[in-house]
Structure formats: structure tokens, C-alpha cells
Amino acid sequence: MIPGYKHVDSFGPDEDYETDEEIEYVTLDLGTIEPTLVPSSSTYRLIGLDTPTPYLQLSGTKLKGQHQSLLGTELLFTEASDEQHQHHQPQGKKPLVHVATTERRIRFKEVELKPKGEGAAPDAVASSTSKSSTAKKVKTQMDHVMGTQAGSSRRGRGGKKRGGTTKSQSQAQTRSSGKGRAPDAPAEADVPPQTEPSEFALDPALAQADPTES
């Protein structure tokens, strides 16, 4: 056992114990509908006061609440009773009596409650519409990327072809420059100039013909 505590089999009567009640006031802020709705309502229903989203019903009007933290303390006053009004204040004025202080406030806003079945269908339609639009965007981007890659591939093949043409032209220029430098060489004897054989394509039919017939 813990020091200072005693084990008992049963507790004594409730009269042997003292009970303390703690009263806490909460301000309900109804906004602009308070002056017209509160006087015309005789009963109200308050649900979930200790929950993050309490609900209040006044004469068929449903309101959703939200807790607010206050920087200071609010002072709550009420109108004085008839006896206090006669002893302390002259006629025509309504005195106020301090009731309590509070540090909690719940701001309510009018809402319209709907069953779950009615709200689920629009959500499903919106979800399917969002998915279809996303699929269209992805398809458009893929088509754009594939088109760009195809264009780059075609340009790359064209570049190789141009490179081959340039190489052939370089070889032709080299041969022509070689023929140009030949007369500069010292000639020891009169040698007839040699010409390079011209390249031509033979017709396959003429190549197979017998040269004696001519």
C-alpha cells in the first residue's frame, strides 16, 4: 500500500463525503440572427457542447458552432429583479447585476443539414470528372512528348546525311587540290599527262554482250 492510504472493503454512506460543484459559463454567439430568433423561440436543443463542433437548434433553425479562445475574460451581466430595481435605481432604468465571468465562447453559424445519400452523388460525379480531366491532361502531355522525340529523331537522321555529303565534298576537294599541285613538281622528262579514268556505270546488258560483234 501507498503510505498514507488505508485499504477498505467498502465505502461509507454518501453523507460522509463532501462534494463540490464547479459551474462554468460559456457564451453562445449567434451573430445577426439573435435579435429575431431568440425572442421567438421558447425551447432549444444543444448537442455536443464539449465536442469540437457543437450544434444548436432554435425553432427549426439549425446552427453549427465553433469554439473560440479569448484573450481575456468576459463579464456576464443580467437584468436586476424587481426588488433590486425598486431599492437601487429610479424608475425608467434597468439596472444590471454581475453574474459570472467566462473564458469560453462558441460562435454559431446557420447551416443546412442533408442526408448522406443526397450529398454522396455529387461528390462521386465531381470525383469522376476530376479523374477524366486528369487523364486527358496526361494523354495530351504524352502526345506532346512523343511528338517532340519523333521530331528530334528525324532531325538527327538528316544531320547524318548532311554529314556524309560534306565528307564526300571534302574528298572531291582533296582530289582536285592534288591535281592542281601536280604541275608544280619538277619534270625531268616530257611525260604525257595522265588523266584519271572517269567513273561511269555500265549497262548490265552491254556488259554481257560479245565485243567481237562490233
Query: Does the pTM of the predicted model rise above 0.85?
Result: no
Query: Domain 21-110 belongs to what topology?
Result: Immunoglobulin-like (2.60.40)
pLDDT of 64 above 90:
yes
Split at pLDDT 50, 70, 90, the class of 143 is confident
Does the pLDDT value for residue 7 go beyond 50?
Answer: yes
- Rounded to an integer, what distance in angstroms lies between the CA atom of residue 77 and that of residue 137? 62
Q: What is the pLDDT of residue 116?
A: 79
Q: What is the pLDDT of residues 117-138, one digit of tens each?
A: 755 555 555 555 666 677 777 7
* pLDDT value for 207: 47
**Lowest mean per-residue pLDDT among 7-16, 22-31, 133-142, 187-196:** 187-196
Q: pLDDT over 70 for what percent of the chain?
A: 54
* Beta bridge mates, 28: 106
Instruction: Note the pLDDT of residue 178.
Output: 45
Structure-block grid coordinates of residue 14: 454518501
**Partners of 109 in the β-ladder:** 64
Tell me the average pLDDT across 31-42: 83
Measured distance CA(93)–CA(72) in Å, rounded: 29
Mean pLDDT of the chain: 69
CA distance 61 to 110: 7
Helices (H), the chain: 34-37, 82-88, 116-181, 204-208
**Better pLDDT: 21 or 165:** 21
Least confident piece of the model among 33-47, 85-99, 172-186? 172-186
Specify the range with the lowest mean pLDDT, choosing from 12-16, 46-50, 114-118, 159-163. 159-163
Give the integer Cα–Cα distance in Å for 23 and 102. Answer: 10
In this predicted structure, what is the pLDDT of residue 176? 47
Segment among 56-60, 65-69, 79-83, 89-93 with least mean pLDDT: 89-93
- The pLDDT assigned to 137 comes to 77
Residue ranges of domains in the chain: 21-110
| The pLDDT value given to residue 84 | 58
- 164 band by pLDDT with thresholds 50, 70 and 90: very low
